[in-house]
Amino acid sequence: MSERETYIYMDHAATSWPKPNEVIEAVTEAMKHDSANPGRGSHAMAVRASRILFNGRKQLAKLLNIKNPNDIAFTYNTTMALNMAIKGFVKQGDHVIASSVEHNSVRRPLHALEQTGVQVTYIDADERGRFKLDQLQRSMQHNTSLVIVNHSSNLLGTIMPIAEISTIVHEHGAKLLVDGAQSVGIIPIDVEQLGIDMLAFPGHKGLLGPQGTGGLYIAPHIELEPLLQGGTGSQSEAPHQPLVRPDRYEAGTQNTAGIAGLAAGVQYVARVGVENIYQHEWELSQRLLGGLSEIEGVVCLGPALGEPRTGIVSFYVPHIDPSEMAFILDQHYHIAVRSGFHCTPTAHNAAGTSERGAVRASVGYSSTVEEVDRFIAAVKEIIEQY
């Protein structure tokens, strides 16, 4: 039996597995035949490598309704994309707003900027990860330059009202940065319709691509100071970073084989349909949430049964340490979950789990009803025997 048949993987919020065969094949083909340095030569292999990058941008632009593929800068993960956006846009004396359920990839760059004189306000969220739009309205200041919000909490699965947030942000002349780590490829996104100025996203989660891939959409009206300076293959005689996109934001050699796999993952997602992926994950999350809620002693976090959410269901059992629960699930039931604080301690503050954290089970498009039912039965058995 294959590992896919014997191992239940419920850690899709960290990274998706297994990858579609076409993703693996695309990576392999690129490494075999197109491993030259893109943009660094005019020979045939270098040209083919450059086309891989352009194809990746084109596929992403189509999926997210981005008019110009060159407004997408490739990164190695969402963390890099968020750092590029935050540190490249915010100036000394600016005011920035973020929600209290943000990932450390937002919280830590903002903490570093606070040391330089940037003012930061965090919007409080309730135990289900929701914050009130009127509180955002009241928090806007004359010098508010940027509002940052995750599309979906990586602990609670809460889906934020991006369109409504965008309206408030733009009414006050600020810009909106969306952390799409848990939403791109899972929730339908139209950057034009939603009014997103910058969108940071991973390649290895909802887009089903390899690790070491990701990107940042930068709207045409946004100019960032580059996070990195260096070789781009263009304007090499100039001492400054090129102004042209995407070169301005992509110093150094890109992960060509990884981006080949990412493009294949995006095509797979587009073929299945993001709406269908969301529906599948929502139905499984509802089954998971409902089953866990029926087990005595289990406390589930995030939106209530029947409410919108991504495929994340976090929970805890008061008399069992989350790390021990995850260890038993792995060692005795061959089920992969994540425990602890999930790089979002402030979300745990909102959820009331700041002392020990929680167990996070997260489904993906490859997850099945049988796997969810086996997981619920395993948790029930552990509690009964503990």
Same domain, 100 and 174: yes
Q: What is the CATH number of the domain that holds 248?
A: 3.40.640.10
Pairing of strands 358-362, 338-340: antiparallel
C-alpha 98/C-alpha 277 separation (Å) is: 28
- Structural domain tally of the chain? 2
Same domain, 248 and 298: no
Pairing of strands 95-99, 144-150: parallel
Same domain, 99 and 228: yes
Q: Are 263 and 203 in contact (CB under 8 A)?
A: no
Same domain, 141 and 266: yes
Whether 76 is in a domain gets the answer yes
Same domain, 336 and 195: no
Show the tokens assigned to 53.
């990058």
Same domain, 346 and 218: no
Whether 14 is in a domain gets the answer no
Same domain, 278 and 190: no
Same domain, 28 and 68: yes
Q: Is 300 a catalytic residue?
A: no
Q: What is the CATH number of the domain that holds 299?
A: 3.90.1150.10
pTM: 0.95
Q: Which domain holds residue 293?
A: 274-385
Cα 56 to Cα 92, 183, 244, 352: the distances in Å are 35, 18, 18, 41
The torsion angles phi and psi of 236, rounded to 5 degrees, stand at -65, -20
Catalytic residue among 108, 343, 380, 381: 343
One digit per residue, the tens of pLDDT, for the chain of length 386 reads 566 668 999 999 999 999 999 999 999 999 999 888 887 778 988 889 889 999 999 999 999 999 999 999 999 999 999 999 999 999 999 999 999 999 999 999 999 999 999 999 999 988 888 888 999 999 999 999 999 999 999 999 999 999 999 999 999 999 999 999 999 999 999 999 999 999 999 999 999 999 999 999 999 999 999 978 776 566 656 677 777 788 888 888 899 999 999 999 999 999 999 999 999 999 999 999 999 999 999 999 999 999 999 999 999 999 999 999 999 999 999 999 999 899 888 888 888 888 899 999 999 999 999 999 999 999 999 999 98
Show the tokens assigned to 318.
């008061």
Same domain, 181 and 257: yes
The torsion angles phi and psi of 356, rounded to 5 degrees, stand at -125, -5
